[in-house]
Each structure stands twice: as C-alpha cells, then as structure tokens.
Structure 1
Amino acid sequence: MTQEFPRTATVRGIELGRARPEIIVPLVGEDEEAVLAQAQAAAASPARLVEWRLDRFRPDLRGAEAHREAALATLIPLRGRLGADRGLLVTFRTPAEGGQRPIEDRDLGRLLEALVTAHRAGAQSPVDLMDIETARSPEVVERVIGTAHGHGVVVVGSFHDMAGTPEVDAMVEMLRGQRRLGADVPKIAVTPHDGHDVLRLLSASLTVEADRVGPHIAISMGALGAVSRVAGEAFGSAATFATVGEASAPGQLAAQDVARMLELLRP
C-alpha cells in the first residue's frame, strides 16, 4: 500500500503548502524598540508569517551569551505584539548565508534551543517556526531539529548560495536531503546570473513539488529572480519573503505588492 504523507505544515491555523503561497516579512531591527515597531507594522500587513532575523538584532553585543539573553528578553514582548493569528519564524544568518553576524555552530544551537523552549510547561512555544541552515554541524542540526519538534515547532531547513545557482539535480537533492534530515519545510535560495538560472530554480521546485511529501520554499534572489517570489503557486513553492520596510535579502518586494501579484498570477 502506498504510504500517505501530509502535504502541509500548520502553524496557528496557517497551512504552508495549501493553495496560495504564504507571505513572510522580516523583522530586522537592531534593538527591542525597533523590532516591536516593525512587528506592529507587520501585523497590519497581508503577511501571516513574520521572520525575526536574529543576526540583525543587537549588533552592539559581541558575545553569544549576551546576545542570547537579549533575544530571550525580547521574545515574549514580540510574541505579544504579533498577536495570536500570526506565526513567528526565528532565523540567524551568517555573512556566508547573506546575514550580518558570525556565530559558532554550538552557540547557534544554544540560541535556537533557548528560544523554542522559552515557555512554561504545557504552554505553547512563543516560536512557531525555526530556521536552521542544514550545512551546519550534523550533531547541532540533529539536536536542534529534535528540540524544535519536541516543542511543536515547525522546522525550516535552509540552504543559501550567495554566488550562483547549482544545477537542477543538485538543488532537487538539497531539498530532498533537508527533508530527510527532519526539516518540515526545506528551503533553498540561490543567486541567478541570467534567465536560465531562474528557470533551473523553478524547474527544481516543480520536481520536488511532484514528490507530494510536503511543502518547500524555493527562491531565486535579486531583481532577476523576482518572478520566483510571486509565481510560487505555479511552481510549487509554499511561501515567499516580502517587506514591510527594510528588506532582509536582495530582490524582496513590498508585501502589499506581492499579495496583489499572488492573486493576479493564481493558476
């Protein structure tokens, strides 16, 4: 008998992988006041998911422990500002991944685990989704994914190529490999140099979508790849990243514009 797999990942009633791609907007504030102000703006946008970019938070704090404690102190006020209907994704990107701050694998694991477990016993985690770059230490990746799943947190397993676009087969294998590691939502973001690169990314996304084993996210970055941010439903990608204010990656468009285009381009 053929095994059935869930095709969606659900947080706060939001199903990633069903119908129109979800819009995710980043919070890139450098301190609590800025993060909360951006969260309030995000809550008034069409986006139902919000990404807190921890590598952009408190650049004045150089030590991993001090940074972690500051993030924990901001987490609960942030959760309150977003309200009950919006999902919170926590993400840390290093410079090699398009981010702003380096971090050791061990410290990254401690940060993510502290955030997803920052709640009373029996209560829902304030974090709904957690991003982990799957090229990190296998031991750290395995432990963080296990902790997240143990607290009901959806895992986004990600890969970023800031220099180019791999071949189709390589991107397909990356996405499938992330799912084998335990990611609920595999994610790949690549850099195109011409239209053929964008087409390769879209082809890889379609191939993985045909597996019908769950949602994934596939993005071609920069202005050249902007079509991948608004045509995800036709090519199998479950979410797209847009802005309410400052962008967190090249090629992000305004959330209001993306929402309108997603409806106009619905297949």
Structure 2
Amino acid sequence: MKTITIENTQLSDTKPKIAVPITGKDDAEIEQQLALIDTASVDLIELRIDFLAVLNEATIKSAKQLIQTSFPKTPIIATLRTTTEGGNFNPIEHDYPAVLKVIIKTGFHLVDVEINQLGAASIIDLAHQHHQLVIGSHHNFKQTPDDHFLAQKWQSMQALNCDIAKIAVMPTNVDDVLRFMTASHRANQSLMIPIISMAMGALGIITRISGQLTGSVITFGSITNKAQSAPGQITSPQLATILQVVAPQ
C-alpha cells in the first residue's frame, strides 16, 4: 500500500481523497465558491491559478489566504494548467517557469508541474528546496495514448523526482476506459510513487470513483454540476457518497 501524508491528510492507493477545484477569476468569485463547498466532502482544495484574471504574486497570495481562512487545515494544490493541456494559461505568450517560481515562493502544500513544459526539472527541484510536494502531470484532451506511451510518461515523472504522478486522458470508446484503468493499475504496481489517474468526459466518470482499483490517490469533484474544471467531473458530495459505498475503508 502506498501512502503519503500532507499535514493531517493521508493519501492512499486504497481509497482516493477528494480534491475540490476553485476556479474564481478574482477574490470575490473565490469567496463565493468557497462558501458553496460541502465541508464534509473535501479533503484537499485545488487552486486553479490559470483561472485568475490577473497573475502576479499579490493575487496568488490573496487567493491562497482566502482558502486558508475558510479551510485552515485543508491541504492546497496549486495548479497552473496550460492551454496545451486543457487550461487557460498560454505558455507561448507567458513564461510558465516564471509563474511557477512565484507560486512556489508563495508556498503551497502541493504544486502541479506539467512535465512536458520546458524547465520542468528545475521547477521540481525548486519546489523540493522549498519543502513542497510536486504532482508531475500530463493531460491529453484529445485521446487515450497507447499503453507504452502511458507507461513511459509515468516512469518519466518518477525519474524527475515527482512525489505523485498524474495522467488524465480523453477516451473515445469503452475500450479506452478499460485499457486506461488497467494501465493505471500497472503503474501503481510498478512505480515507487503514488499516482493520480482519470479518464475525462462522460465515458470516464467510472475512473473518478475507482481509485481503490486503479491506485489513484486523488479524485477531483466540482462544487456544483455547473462548475466543472474538467469534463466529466461530478460534485464532491456525489463523490463522497459513492466512495462510502465502493471504498468504505
């Protein structure tokens, strides 16, 4: 069994913890979203920094402080998702490593680093120097790559000294979903670090509630059905209810 402890929260490959994304563009929207979170069904909060209308040290720090005020004991994941991987931050127009350095300086429990970005290795090293855990990530919003590609991508995250390895894919048929779940299980068995895995869209919903089978330590649940940060998300209360049935331990 793989476990990793962040503050008082233990991530385990036997039952996924629920992370709730915050996607507000400014402090007002962030406060509104925080007030809507079902406190009984959140284990971590993901701050989607790429949704912020203004990206600088002050706005990132303010967003972090708002979350900490509402959820002082809940670990925070800082995520700067690029347009190439389904987010809002354009790495061609803006400097991805520079913004990640500001995020790390601000201080979060976990930092998401897209391993395909230039400078990923140095960013991971910097996060570790600041005693922050790294989620190495790769997102494919078009398809589900073949098993060899998936295995290599997970291995590369481990080789880069990521603390958790995350892959999200878009299935086009049922076979993709089943194949990806099997590939996730194999990665969890072979890697020394925990994984996060999910297939997006309606076809992939099953992967969001099957971490106890695939080894995924975190699943992402939206605040409401209209506030998804990725296709196929269901709400955190729905996730909590289902996980109590399928993974009660």
TM-score (norm 1): 0.86
Aligned residue pair count: 246
**Residue 197 (structure 2) aligns with:** 218
Give 3-state SS (helix, strand or coil) of 1:36's partner: helix
Give 3-state SS (helix, strand or coil) of 2:50's partner: helix
**Residue 95 (structure 2) aligns with:** 107
**Residue 80 (structure 1) aligns with:** 68
CA distance in 2, matches of 1:163, 1:91: 20
**Residue 124 (structure 2) aligns with:** 145
Of the three residues 173, 176, 191, the one matched with 2:152 is 173
Deviation at 1:104, TM superposition (A): 4.4
Give 3-state SS (helix, strand or coil) of 1:37's partner: helix
Deviation readout 1:24-62 (Å, 9 max, x if unpaired): 11100111111133234336241111111111111xx4x
Whether contact under 8 Å (2:14, 2:213) holds in the other structure is no
Whether contact under 8 Å (1:17, 1:214) holds in the other structure is no
Residue correspondence of structure 1 range 110-129 to structure 2 within 5 A: 110-118=98-106, 125=107, 127-129=108-110
Whether contact under 8 Å (1:43, 1:82) holds in the other structure is no
**Residue 184 (structure 2) aligns with:** 205
Shift in CA distance, 200/161, structure 1 to aligned 2, threshold 3 Å: same
Give 3-state SS (helix, strand or coil) of 1:226's partner: helix
1:56 aligns with 2:51: yes
Gaps of 5+ in 2: none
Of the three residues 219, 233, 246, the one matched with 1:252 is 233
CA distance in 2, matches of 1:83, 1:150: 26
Of the three residues 220, 236, 244, the one matched with 1:263 is 244
Give 3-state SS (helix, strand or coil) of 1:117's partner: helix
Of stretches 221-230 and 71-80 in structure 1, the one that deviates more from structure 2 is: 71-80
Give 3-state SS (helix, strand or coil) of 2:168's partner: strand
**Residue 59 (structure 2) aligns with:** 71
1:89 aligns with 2:70: no
Gaps of 5+ in 1: 1-5, 62-66, 119-124
Whether contact under 8 Å (2:57, 2:103) holds in the other structure is no
Whether contact under 8 Å (1:56, 1:100) holds in the other structure is yes
